[in-house]
Structure 1
Amino acid sequence: MKKGDFIWGIILLSVALFILMPATHIIFVDFTAGHPYISGFIKFGILATMGEMLAIRISVGDWKKPAGLIYRAIIWGFLGIVITLMFQIFAAGVTGALEKGYLPGKGSSFAFAFFVSSIMNLTFAPTFMAFHRFTDTYIDMVYEGIKNIKAVDVVGRIDFKGFVSFVLIKTVPLFWIPAHTITFMLPPEYRVLTAAFLSLALGILLAMGKRGGKK
Structure 2
Amino acid sequence: MKKGDFLWILALGVFVAILVVPATHEIFIKLTTFHPYIGGFIKFAILATMGEMLAIRIAMGDWKTTNGIIYRALVWGFLGIVITLMFQIFAGGIQGCLSKGYLPGGDSKIAFAFFVGAIMNLTFAPTFMTFHRYTDTYIDLVYEGRKNITVTDVVSEIDWNGFVSFVVFKTVPFFWIPAHTLTFLLPSEYRVLAAAFLSIALGVLLAFGKRKKTKQKGV
Report the TM range for the smaller structure's normalisation: over 0.9
TM-score by length of 1: 0.99
Q: Secondary structure at the match of 2:66?
A: coil
Partner of 1:137: 137
The size of the alignment, in residue pairs, is: 215
Q: What root-mean-square deviation, in Å, do the aligned CA atoms of Structure 1 and Structure 2 show?
A: 0.5
User: Where does the alignment leave 5 or more consecutive residues of structure 2 unmatched?
Assistant: none
**1:43 corresponds to 2:43:** yes
Q: How does 1:166-185 map to 2 (within 5 A)?
A: 166-185=166-185
- Secondary structure of the equivalent of 1:66? coil
Question: Partners of 1:136 and 1:31 in 2: how far apart?
Answer: 28
1:195 aligned partner, one-letter code: A
Equivalent residue for 2:206?
A: 206
Report the AA paired with residue 55 of structure 1. A
Find the residue that maps to 1:213 and give its secondary structure: helix
**Helix, strand or coil at the partner of 2:206:** helix
The answer for the alignment partner of 1:122 in structure 2 is: 122
Tell me the residue number matched to 2:18.
18
Matches within 5 A, 1:1-215: 1-214=1-214, 215=216
Secondary structure of 1:185's match?
coil
- Mapped partners of 2:45, 2:30: distance in 1: 19
Instruction: Give the Cα separation in 1 of the matches to 2:3 and 2:201.
Output: 22
What's the offset of the Cα at 1:213? 3.0
Q: Within 1, Cα distance between the matches of 2:131 and 2:32?
A: 25
Q: Which segments of 5 or more consecutive residues in structure 1 lack a partner in the other structure?
A: none
**Structure 1: how far apart are the matches of 2:108 and 2:212?**
39
**1:20, CA displacement in angstroms?**
1.4
Distance 2:148 2:85 in 1: 34
CA distances 1:36-86 after superposition (whole Å, capped 9, x unpaired)? 000000000000000000000000000000000000000000000000000
Q: 2: CA distance between counterparts of 1:177 and 1:57? A: 26
Matches of 1:51 and 1:32, distance apart in 2:
21
- Aligned equivalents of 1:93, 1:130: Cα separation in 2: 23
TM-score (norm 2): 0.97
Contact 1:162 1:213 in 2 (8 A): yes
The residue type paired with residue 4 of structure 1 is: G
Letter in 1 for 2:25: H
- SS of the aligned residue for 1:145 comes to coil
Aligned-partner Cα distance in 1 for 2:24–2:76? 24
Q: CA deviation at 1:22?
A: 1.3
Q: Structure 1 segments of 4 or more deviating over 4 A?
A: none
Asked if the contact 1:163/1:213 (under 8 Å) is kept, the reply is: no
Give the letter aligned to residue 40 of structure 1: G
